[in-house]
Structure 1
Amino acid sequence: MRCPPTSTDLATSELSPGTGAACDAVPAAYPPWAPTVVESRPTAVILDLFGTLVSAPDSSERSAASAQLAWAMRLPMAIAEAALCGSWQPRHDGQLRSSTAVATHLIERCGASAACTNEVEAVLARLARQRLQADRTLLQALKELRQGGSRLAVLSDASPDIAEAWDRSELASHFDAVVFSCRAGAVKPDRRLFQRVLGKLAAESGQVLYCGDGGGDELAGAERAGMRALRVARRGGPDGLAFGEAHWSGRTIPAVELLPSLLGGWGAR
């Protein structure tokens, strides 16, 4: 069992904005989740994707995706759903390098006809585009972070269909760098992922704040890589699916939309 971090650059309580005695004691300019000691402001922010920038999928969304794949393969939904759930690792760790490879893998696991490949690939592409739709409030927060001088990157456990859809999403233009596990050949919390995204940002680890919902033990992984880490409450709610989530005793903020306020008042108290 992995022990929780024993220290962090951020305080170790969880507060929501506008609630509790701590909020009454702190000027509005300095939100209660801001650092309580003077420290250098991060110059770059690395963000998780699912559960952080876009909603984490829930069981109903997974079932809907399975139903579409089942239709494309002319199979019962239960078979498609079992194949989809059972293929998480190869879809995310680089064993499958394209959406065509993912489609072929699913078809083989289900025992479906290879003639379905194009239809399965089309379903994967459509689902990926839907998964990458972002809230207007989130896009505005990213714009404000960049206007404030922060360099931004995404580090995500993601499958090839997501990686292929990324450049056409509304999110892509807001980021200076992106690292997807399927392209890097490893999943969180593999240290190589954190090193790769730091290299793409040309940033030192101590200059970086990592923000994610905690899936894949990413927060402790970021700290082991020398970054400061901040948990964001899972976007989409507590029913969102997460793989490899670990206990986190560090600071949590309610949403990515609060990051501009946090960084704007960093070290000012």
Structure 2
Amino acid sequence: MILDLFGTLVAAPSVVERRAAAAQFAAILRVSPAVAESVLSDSWQARHDGQMESTTEVAVHLVARCDASAACVDELEVLLARLAHVRLQADASLLRALEQLRRGGARLAVLSDASPDIAEAWSASDLAPHFDAVVFSCRAGAVKPDRLLFRTVLRDLGVAPQQALYCGDGGGDELAGAERAGMRAVRVERRGGPSGLAFGETAWSGRAIPDVEALPTLLDRWGQR
């Protein structure tokens, strides 16, 4: 089973949360919150598609884009790491569902558009021990729905496409991308609610469930067919 991260396993940030984070960036970089938010939005692709290999490189990039002092890099790097840690906090109910899936014999993987700060924070998160493989876009060098990502996670998980189920909230055209890669796909309602930010979301008329916690029941029903 392959799962998306933001909006699926952990809440997608809301507009309010994104603005609050931008305000923290702005305070460090000594620019207006509007400038910081614009730079963060404009740099999304570069931060997620492998152009930057570390949190340090992300901080350097943001400092340069804001025309801020290089002395800000260290403080900005600390902020990026702290925010990444917070974003990877998982609900206890979600962790129990993952454990139930593993006890049932499922092999689990994460496939996520993510920046280097998230990739570096992953191993210390409560989520990490539950997964057999993890593929982050910043490490693979592509963003969803690039087929490279789906091929990579299938390879790392050691399963054929027809053996895999992809589960996500639909950002990045991921559900159709998973189907094009030969997998079954199921949509979950966006964790964090409909105000959560998503990029590249497309319409979906296939199977849907309320959350990842419903997956063990779904698999049991499929197994009874």
Same fold (TM over 0.5): yes
Which residue identity does 1:69 align to in structure 2? F
Higher RCO structure, 1 or 2 (CA under 8 Å, sep 6+): 1
Structure 1 residue aligned with 2:180: 224
Q: Which string of whole-angstrom CA distances, capped at 9 and with x for unpartnered residues, describes residues 50-82 of structure 1?
A: 000000111111111101111111222111111
Structure 1 residue aligned with 2:137: 181
Which residue identity does 2:108 align to in structure 1? L
Structure 1 residue aligned with 2:117: 161
Structure 2 residue aligned with 1:249: 205
Q: Which string of whole-angstrom CA distances, capped at 9 and with x for unpartnered residues, describes residues 68-105 of structure 1?
A: 11111122211111111111000000011111111011
The two structures, once aligned, show a CA RMSD in angstroms of 0.7
Residue pairs, 1:61-80, within 5 angstroms: 61-80=17-36
Structure 2 residue aligned with 1:111: 67
Residue of 78, 86, 109 corresponding to 1:130: 86
Structure 2 residue aligned with 1:57: 13
Q: Distance in 2 between matches of 1:120 and 1:128?
A: 12
Which residue identity does 1:172 align to in structure 2? A
Structure 2 residue aligned with 1:19: none
Larger Rg: 1
Q: Which string of whole-angstrom CA distances, capped at 9 and with x for unpartnered residues, describes residues 111-165 of structure 1?
A: 1000100000001000000000000000000000000000000000000000000
Which residue identity does 1:231 align to in structure 2? R
Pair 1:214-2:170 in alignment: yes
Structure 1, unpaired ranges of 5+: 1-44
Residue pairs, 1:38-49, within 5 angstroms: 45-49=1-5
Structure 1 residue aligned with 2:191: 235
Q: Distance in 2 between matches of 1:203 and 1:139?
A: 23
Structure 2 residue aligned with 1:36: none
Q: Distance in 1 between matches of 2:39 and 2:3?
A: 29
Q: SS at 2:50's partner residue?
A: coil
1:210 Cα deviation after fit: 0.2
Q: SS at 1:170's partner residue?
A: coil
Which residue identity does 2:68 align to in structure 1? A
Aligned residues: 225
Structure 2 residue aligned with 1:7: none
Q: Distance in 1 between matches of 2:32 and 2:178?
A: 41
Q: Which string of whole-angstrom CA distances, capped at 9 and with x for unpartnered residues, describes residues 208-237 of structure 1?
A: 000000000000000010000000010001
Q: Distance in 2 between matches of 1:54 and 1:197?
A: 19
Structure 2 residue aligned with 1:141: 97
Q: SS at 2:108's partner residue?
A: strand
Structure 2, unpaired ranges of 5+: none
TM-score (norm 2): 0.99
Structure 2 residue aligned with 1:17: none
